[in-house]
Homo-oligomer: A and B are copies of this chain.
Amino acid sequence: GLTPLMMLFNEKIVQPKLGQCTEAPTEQLPDAINEKNPVIIAGFGNFGNVAGRFLRAHNIRTTILDNDSDRVALLRRMGFKVYYGDASRYDLLKAAGADTAKLIVITIEPPSKRLEMIETIKKHFPNLQMLVRAQNRFDAYDLMNAGMLHVYRETIDTSLRVGVDVMKMLGYRAYTANRAARTFLKLDEKNLKKLAAIRDENQYIIAAREKIEELEKIIQTERGDIKLQDESFHRAEATASIFGF
């Protein structure tokens, strides 16, 4: 049956193990790496896997690292070339070609391990550009305060797609909903940068509430514009049909 497979992939079960055992001595040695690629992917769970498959579909060569030995074994059976090892360690990064690669996608768990890894990279591989997974808004603040420019809150895009689909199911136009989602994400990322610097809890809540309401007003105004555009478009269409062209 699927059960062992499901357990293996289920990050609910994998994550606590990773979290608790990071400092414990691992018996398995990291794999030797015999390639250098422009992109390194650190962590090949649900998050790293999709980005990795997408890049492979474009023939973009990646070096994939993962420190869950069961997952590495399964991924190999699925046709992926994955190296076992702790991607936050200098020696593994060096072996993976961190000094010649252009980019690294950091998805390893837990978030504290990602912050640790970023410091190692800043110190030893200053030319390597980092794209980093964030668990949530507060994790994203930590990453931004660590100087990260490419921070991805892990569920934000999918949650916005749910919002878009709700609108479509309620009868709104797909184009309008998709456009609003892009605006929402852009503005929310901008607000994130402004809010990352606030340290006081009360000040934070006041500022966050203000930014949230401001964003919603902008979306509403943009909707207003779309409605007007739609109306003039429909008027133009009506005029066109009257004059027969």
Interface residues of A (CB under 8 A from B): 1-2, 4-6, 9-12, 16, 19, 38-39, 46-51, 53-60, 74, 77-79, 102-103, 105, 110-111, 129, 131, 133, 135-139, 141, 150, 152-167, 169-170, 172, 180-181, 184, 188, 198-201, 204-205, 208-209, 212-213, 215-216, 219-220, 223
Q: Given contacts A46-B136, A102-B170, could you give 12 more A-B pairs where the C-beta distance is less than 8 Å?
A: A2-B141, A9-B138, A11-B135, A12-B135, A39-B170, A47-B162, A48-B159, A56-B216, A131-B165, A152-B159, A154-B154, A157-B160
Bound Cα distance A179, B160 (Å): 18
Are A157 and B166 neighbours in the complex by a CB distance under 8 Å? no
A184 / chain B contacts, CB cutoff of 8 Å: 53-54, 57
Closest CB in chain B relative to A233 CB, distance in Å:
20
Are B2 and A138 neighbours in the complex by a CB distance under 8 Å? yes
Bound Cα distance A58, B178 (Å): 12
Partner pick for A155 among B77, B103, B158, CB 8 A cutoff:
B158
A138 / chain B contacts, CB cutoff of 8 Å: 2, 5-6, 9-10
Are B79 and A213 neighbours in the complex by a CB distance under 8 Å? yes
A54 / chain B contacts, CB cutoff of 8 Å: 159-160, 163-164, 180-181, 184, 219
